[in-house]
A and B are shown apart, each in its own frame.
Chain A
Amino acid sequence: DARVTQTPRHKVTEMGQEVTMRCQPILGHNTVFWYRQTMMQGLELLAYFRNRAPLDDSGMPKDRFSAEMPDATLATLKIQPSEPRDSAVYFCASGLGTGNYEQYFGPGTRLTVT
C-alpha cells in the first residue's frame, strides 16, 4: 500500500530557527503539492511541482519559505527564519499528474514555533 511519507511528524522550535520538512511522494507520481493547514485559514496551497519543476508557489511567503525537489523521491519545504505564525500542520500530497487527478496526502508535519 504505497503512501506519501513526511518527516518529521512533529517539530517544536524557537522563533528564528530554520525548519526543514521532507516529503517522499509515492513512487511514480510526478506532481507534488505542499499545503498548510491552520484553524483560521483552513487548507492553503503553498507550492506545487510537476516533474520536479516548480509550477506555482504564489501561496508561499517568499522571504522566508522555500520549496525544492532535489530529486524525484524527495521534496523539501524550508522556513528560515521561523516565526510563531508559521505554527501549523504542513501536508505534502502527490499525484500522477495526467489522467488520474487524485492527490494522496502524507500524514503531515505538525510545526510549533515558540
Chain B
Amino acid sequence: GENVEQHPSTLSVQEGDSAVIKCTYSDSASNYFPWYKQELGKRPQLIIDIRSNVGEKKDQRIAVTLNKTAKHFSLHITETQPEDSAVYFCAARVNAGKSTFGDGTTLTVKP
C-alpha cells in the first residue's frame, strides 16, 4: 500500500519568514495530494491540493509543488503569521479513494 513520509515533524519560524514542509510517497498510482491544517481540538481542513498533472499551485501565501518523478511534494507558506501555527498534514490518494496521511508537522510561528 501507499506510504507517506513527512518532514520535519516540528518547525518553528519567526513571523514573516517562510515555512516549507516536505512529503514523499511510494505509490506511483497516487494522483491527488491534499494538504490539511488542523488547529488544536479542531477538524482537519483542506488548505490546498494538487493533482498529478500539475507541477505547482498557488493560493495567496500558500503554494504546493509536486515532483512526480521523485515522488515528493512540498507545502510552502510565505510571510508566515501567528495564526498559521497549527499541525499540517500531507496526504496522497488515488482519485477520490482512500487517503494515506503523513504524520504531521507542528508549525509554530513566533511573533
A48 / chain B contacts, CB cutoff of 8 Å: 97-98
Check if A45 sits within 8 Å of B100, measured CB to CB. Answer: yes
> What's the count of A-B pairs with C-beta under 8 Å?
52
Check if A42 sits within 8 Å of B96, measured CB to CB. Answer: no
Name the prevailing secondary structure of the A interface residues.
Answer: strand
Most chain B beta-carbon neighbours within 10 Å: one of A55, A96, A101, A108: A101
Size category, A interface: 20 to 34
Most chain A beta-carbon neighbours within 10 Å: one of B42, B98, B102: B98
Check if A43 sits within 8 Å of B43, measured CB to CB. Answer: no
Size category, B interface: 20 to 34
0/1 string, A27-49, CB within 8 A of B gives 1: 00001010000000011110010
Chain B min CB distance to A100 (Å): 8
Q: A55-B97, A102-B34, A102-B49 are in contact. Are A42 and B103 (CB under 8 A)?
A: yes
Chain B min CB distance to A52 (Å): 15
Could you give 12 example pairs across A and B, Cβ below 8 Å? A42-B89, A42-B103, A42-B104, A44-B101, A48-B97, A97-B96, A101-B93, A101-B96, A103-B34, A103-B99, A105-B36, A105-B43
> Footprint of A on B, CB under 8 Å?
32, 34, 36, 42-46, 49, 51, 89, 93, 95-104
